[in-house]
Amino acid sequence: MTRQIFRTKQVQAFDDSEQSLKRCLSAWDLAFLGVGAIIGTGIFVLTGIAAATQAGPAVVLSFIISGIACVFAALSYAELSAAVGGCGSAYGYTYAAFGELFAFIIGWDLLLEYGISVAAVANGWSGYLNKALTAIDIPLPEALTKAPKLGGIINLPASLIILVLMVLLIIGVKQSAKANNAMVFVKLITISIFVGVAVFNVNPENWHPFMPFGWFNTLPDGKTTGVLAGASLVFFAYVGFDAVSTAAEEAQNPQRDLPFGIITSLAFCTLIYILVAGLLTGIVHYSELNVSSPVAHALSLIGFSWASALISTGVIAGLTTVMLVLYYGLTRIIFAMSRDGLLSPFFSKVNPTTQTPIRIIVLCGIIMSLVAGLMPLGDLAELVNIGTLAAFTFVCLGVIILRVTQPDMVRPFRSPFSPLFPVLGMLSCGSLMLFLPALTWLRFVVWLVIGLIVYFTYSMHHSALNQDK
């Protein structure tokens, strides 16, 4: 059995055969892809929550620490995406490096990451929708905009937007580089409006004390505070850069363009995050930012209701696209695992009329809608982060393993200073996991235990690799 669970899939490098995708994406297309995937709930929502509850104005340091961890992981993603190919992102890379059991664990992990990400973004979307409606004197009742844990009944807008996206995905969704670039432009215009208003309304006294929670502390209830705890939370803001690595087969020059796209998008977003976080905590006291729409809320507090409404409208548009892409990605991962035999073939059935996997879309939509409506944003983000950090750690380790086991593998891009950068990626991502609350770890372990039960009772026996026996 040991040999069976550690069997690996064959590694195939990209080539120019008829089965390869068209190499049409430039370096700047990849950079915009990264920016479009990264900028979302993290900057518009979590910045305020992290400042108010964990880091204070030092949330800018939290963004820097998380950004550095992401750079190391991103370089590993770039190497494996170019060498292993587009076979399920971290799930496929793990299948090639570690074998089937670990691939299933990471795939199962990615289901948690993408699924909860959609619910988390939906929470942020709901907050900004309500802020926009409040600005025009049509506020929604609190009971219908807050999870039960926060004193409400259900976050109804968060639930409904996922169901709307479910219908859109059933009909069919076609993404393109041009459409993504246009959405990035909308997001950047929104951020520019905030910066333009905020920079002239900074009160330096709001930055004191700069580190009210210190570097790291564990509270009696198990919650964590401090800059490092904040880094573990705002790590969610960087989720999505792996979208660049998954486009390796469509890059015109993967060896040159992939690192450019990844590093440029990460560096740009990190600078944007630092700027927004600094200004946000500068215009209002950090204690006022524990809301689901902190950017718009801050502008309202300093008397710029028109800017608040405009920001909310732009954010709503941007977050809708982020949710759609994440939702789509979730269905693709389930589809890939089902096609490999690790999940039921029920999930790999494609509707002949719409040419979409309707079964997956509907099931995921209903589950995510309930989660978004009933769980608060902070809990969702922490759960996403622990799953993402685990996947990143395995990807970094995969680079080292494949360098040893398959040294002759064609690598269009190689992570520099290997094994130093992959090791630093493992250590930084693994360390950030340690700063997450104990309850988050418990939820993560429960999810993995359920996954292991699924693997040993079903997946191992129905794997497509059994056909090669």
Q: How many domains does the chain have?
A: 1
16 domain residue, yes or no: no
| More confident position, 238 or 105 | 105
Cα gap 265→245, rounded to integer Å:
12
Residue 185 contacts by C-beta under 8 Å, 6 or more apart in sequence? none
Alpha-carbon distance values, 73 to 66, 90, 93, 110, 420 (Å): 11, 11, 13, 16, 12
Residue 303 contacts by C-beta under 8 Å, 6 or more apart in sequence? none
Residue 450 has what pLDDT?
93
Residue 373 has what pLDDT?
87
- Which residue(s) pair with 155 in the sheet? 145
| pLDDT tens, position by position, 173-232 | 444 455 556 767 777 888 888 888 888 888 888 888 888 888 887 777 767 788 888 888
What are the tokens at 61? 């340091």
HSE-CB of 75 using CA atoms within 13 angstroms? 20
Residue 246 has what pLDDT?
59
Residue 174 has what pLDDT?
47
| pLDDT tens, position by position, 28-60 | 877 877 787 787 767 777 788 888 888 888 889
Which domain does 264 fall in, by range? Answer: 29-464
Q: Are 162 and 122 in contact (CB under 8 A)?
A: yes
22 domain residue, yes or no: no
Residue 367 contacts by C-beta under 8 Å, 6 or more apart in sequence? 115
Alpha-carbon distance values, 460 to 4, 176, 334, 420, 444 (Å): 8, 37, 16, 35, 22
pLDDT-based confidence at residue 20 (cuts at 50, 70, 90):
very low
| pLDDT tens, position by position, 80-129 | 877 775 545 678 778 878 888 888 998 898 888 788 888 888 887 888 78
* Residue type at 285 in one-letter notation: H
| More confident position, 369 or 353 | 369
Cα gap 431→353, rounded to integer Å:
47
- Omega of the bond leading into 209 within 30 degrees of 0 (cis): yes
HSE-CB of 154 using CA atoms within 13 angstroms? 10
Cα gap 60→431, rounded to integer Å:
19
Q: What is the CATH number of the domain that holds 212?
A: 1.20.1740.10
Q: Are 291 and 121 in contact (CB under 8 A)?
A: no
- Which residue(s) pair with 224 in the sheet? 218
185 domain residue, yes or no: yes
Q: Are 186 and 314 in contact (CB under 8 A)?
A: yes
Whether residue 391 is predicted with pLDDT greater than 70 in this model: the reply is yes
Q: Are 26 and 257 in contact (CB under 8 A)?
A: yes
Whether residue 21 is predicted with pLDDT greater than 50 in this model: the reply is no
Most confident of 252-261, 314-323, 339-348: 339-348
Residue 179 has what pLDDT?
57
Q: Are 53 and 281 in contact (CB under 8 A)?
A: no
Average pLDDT score over the chain: 79
Cα gap 38→16, rounded to integer Å:
30
| More confident position, 457 or 244 | 457
Cα gap 327→353, rounded to integer Å:
21
322 domain residue, yes or no: yes
24 domain residue, yes or no: no
| More confident position, 398 or 185 | 398
Q: In 3-state terms, what secondary structure has residue 307?
A: helix
What are the tokens at 329? 């990605």
For the chain, the first-to-last Cα distance in angstroms comes to 13
Residue 87 has what pLDDT?
45
| pLDDT tens, position by position, 120-171 | 888 878 887 887 787 777 878 878 777 777 777 888 889 999 998 888 777 7
Alpha-carbon distance values, 84 to 33, 287, 336, 365 (Å): 21, 47, 15, 31
- Which among 269, 306, 293, 274 has a CA at the least distance from the CA of 187? 269
Indicate yes or no: pTM above 0.85: no
Alpha-carbon distance values, 44 to 276, 392, 401 (Å): 9, 24, 38
DSSP 186-222: HHHHHHHHHHHHHTTS--GGGG-SS-TT-S-EE-TTS
442 domain residue, yes or no: yes
4 domain residue, yes or no: no
pLDDT-based confidence at residue 16 (cuts at 50, 70, 90):
very low
Whether residue 236 is predicted with pLDDT greater than 80 in this model: the reply is no
- Which among 239, 213, 236, 242 has a CA at the least distance from the CA of 226? 213
Cα gap 181→262, rounded to integer Å:
15
Residue 18 has what pLDDT?
36
Residue 468 has what pLDDT?
56
pLDDT-based confidence at residue 469 (cuts at 50, 70, 90):
low
Residue 457 has what pLDDT?
92
10 domain residue, yes or no: no
Most confident of 309-318, 384-393, 417-426: 417-426
